Each structure stands twice: as structure tokens, then as C-alpha cells.
Amino acid sequence: MTNQNSTRTFVIDKAHSEVGFQVRHLVTRVRGRFAEFEGRIQFDQTNPAGSSVAVTIQASSVDTNEPKRDAHLRSADFFSVDEYPKLTFTSRSVKAKGGDSFEVAGDLAIRGITKPVALRTTFLGVAKDPWGNERIGFEAEVELNRKDFGLMWNATLETGGFLVGDEVKVALSVQAVAA
């Protein structure tokens, strides 16, 4: 009897993946990324609803290309990396949205606060690299309110309003290799 389970394990290839974000700062947007992350994808191409993903991001790897700002982001005002060194996402469901589009719903934990989020996800395909390794690709986006995760720091402007926006746009580009 053959195994009917078509779920395969893939490991995120950090060298070919990215976890980025952007947030309003005064009148423009600041972009950044996390340099250190890892994850596993249980992927079932024939039944995507049977797929799952788990990702861990090292909070101290935040990088906005400005060392003083990055140090502030690592402090207790924002990520408090000494107390909360990791951000995690664990999926709970995968729902087809038509074509190669999916909603990957799960639990995101930042600063010890876990909230449900739904990532708009696009499956980019399957390919073999020149060394014969099977790879899969995805892009995903989600908008978060940073205050929902205890990232409360801000400064009031003389003209009214605040220095840092509450909405954070997160974008992931993931390539994973069969384990």
C-alpha cells in the first residue's frame, strides 16, 4: 500500500528569503528588515489546506540601516529584545482564495503578546535548483497595529499628531528547500 500523504517538509532558505516591514515616520515611511529568522513549512500542494508553517525571528536582528534607530527598536521602548528575544508565527489554517492566492491564518507573538493574524499569501511555484534540490516560493503580506503587540512608544509633534505611525506593513518573500 502506498502512502497517500503528500505533505512534504521544507526549510526556509534565509539566503533567498526576506522579512521586511515599513512604518510611517513623520511624513515618509521607514523600511526595515529582520536579518535572522528560520522556519519550516509542511506543504501539501494537492491539498493546501493540509499545509502549515512555523517561523521564528530573532528580534535583535532588526535592521533599518540606521544604527541609533535600530538600538532604540531593540530597547524596552519597542521590541525589548533582552526580555523577548523572538517573534514567532505559527499557522492555524490555510484557505484557498483562488488561483495561487491563499490566506494563512495563525498566531503571531511579539513581546509576549500573541494575536491572531491572517497573511495574504501567494504561492510562486516549485522548481529544482541546479543541484537537484526541490524548492518552493511564497510571498505574504499583513498589516499590523504595533500597539496590539505592546509597541507603544511615540512622540507627540508640536503641530499635532505623532512621530511614528501605528500601522506596520509586513512583507515576506520566502524560498524554502525540501528537507
- Cell numbers describing residue 115: 494575536
Question: Is 41 contained in some domain?
Answer: yes
Tens-digit pLDDT profile for residues 162-174:
556 687 999 999 9
**How many domains is the chain partitioned into structurally?**
1
Residue 164 lies in a domain: yes
CATH number of the domain at 81, please.
2.40.128.110
Whose CA is closest to 174, among 49, 65, 19? 19
- Give the pLDDT mean for 73-83: 92
Proportion of the chain above pLDDT 90, given as a percent = 74
Q: Identify whether 120 is part of a domain.
A: yes
Q: What is the pLDDT of residue 57?
A: 98
Residue 1 has what pLDDT?
Answer: 40
Q: What pLDDT score does 147 carry?
A: 87
In the block, residue with C-alpha cell 494563512: 104
- Copy the grid coordinates of residue 10: 521544507
Question: Which pLDDT does position 153 carry in this prediction?
Answer: 60
Residues 62, 138: Cα–Cα separation, whole Å: 22
Compute the distance between CA of residue 131 and CA of residue 81 in angstroms, rounded to an integer: 38
pLDDT at 22 over 50: yes
Strand partners, 115: 108
For residue 30, what pLDDT is reported? 87
Mean pLDDT of the chain: 90
In degrees, rounded to 5, the angle at the alpha carbon of residue 117 between the alpha carbons of residues 47 and 44 is 15
Q: Is the pLDDT of residue 44 over 60?
A: yes
- 51, part of any domain: yes
Report whether pLDDT(40) > 50: yes
Examine residue 2 and state whether it is found in any structural domain, yes or no. Answer: no
Residue 1 located in a structural domain: no
Residue 2: per-residue pLDDT: 40
Percent of the chain with pLDDT over 70: 87
Q: What is the pTM of this model?
A: 0.89
**Residue range 92-121: average pLDDT?**
96
CB 16 within 8 A of CB 24: no
The domain in which residue 70 lies consists of 8-178
> In the structure, what pLDDT confidence band is assigned to residue 151 with cuts at 50, 70 and 90?
confident
Residue 94: inside a domain: yes
Grade residue 88 by pLDDT with cuts at 50, 70 and 90: very high
